[in-house]
Amino acid sequence: MGATPAASLNSWDDLLMAYIRGEVNHPIFGVANSDAHNTASIDMNAPEDNISDVGKVKNGVYVKEISQKHLFAAIRQGNLFATTGPSLNFEINGKIMGQTVQCESSSDKSVQLSITANTECPNTELNKVIIIKNGSVIKTIQPTGRDFKQTMNDQVNQKCYYRVEVTAVNKETGESEFAYGNPVFVEI
């Protein structure tokens, strides 16, 4: 899982922009999937080259309660992030990933982005947080350590979306980990 799927994410941004421009009625939300076919050995004590990639990529899902109904609703609404390790929480004006913030056209068109990311593994440290607005990087942050929390304001003057990408590195193995959040939309 060393390289990040940049081409896939660029295509996703193209699809999200089609929603922003009104060319499609519904946004395309990301759902994690390893698409791994190398079931290899299920013995976790097997040599590294014989361990399966199945289950490496996971979804972090924000649910109101633990039930099948609420899980499916959260997936359908895009209230989730994909990860191979780090956790991610991204909100704009209190709205979570997959939701839409409504801005009054006559009011201050400033939105507040809140990002929290962390790693569970003591040997893994965050090394990059990227904030994307309408397919373009607006800020890159290079945190140090296992925990990151930041709030920032940004001006909006038209319908847009924001999403966040997080990368981390395992200091023992050198392996990269990532988390990609679904977008939060802003309407004027």
Q: Kindly report the CATH number assigned to the domain that includes residue 47.
A: 2.60.40.10
Contact 83, 39 (CB under 8 A): no
Residue 1: inside a domain, yes or no?
no
User: Which domain, by its residues, includes 123?
Assistant: 6-187
- Which positions ≥6 away from 34 have C-beta within 8 Å? 53, 54, 55, 56, 57
So what's the pLDDT on residue 57? Answer: 78
Tens digit of pLDDT at every position of the chain (188 positions): 344 555 566 789 999 999 999 999 999 998 877 665 555 555 666 666 555 555 577 888 888 899 999 999 999 999 999 999 999 999 999 999 999 999 876 666 899 999 999 998 899 999 999 999 999 999 999 998 999 999 999 999 899 999 999 999 999 999 999 999 999 999 98
- Which positions ≥6 away from 96 have C-beta within 8 Å? 62, 79, 89, 90, 184
Counted domains in the chain: 1
Residue 165: inside a domain, yes or no?
yes
Contact 90, 115 (CB under 8 A): yes
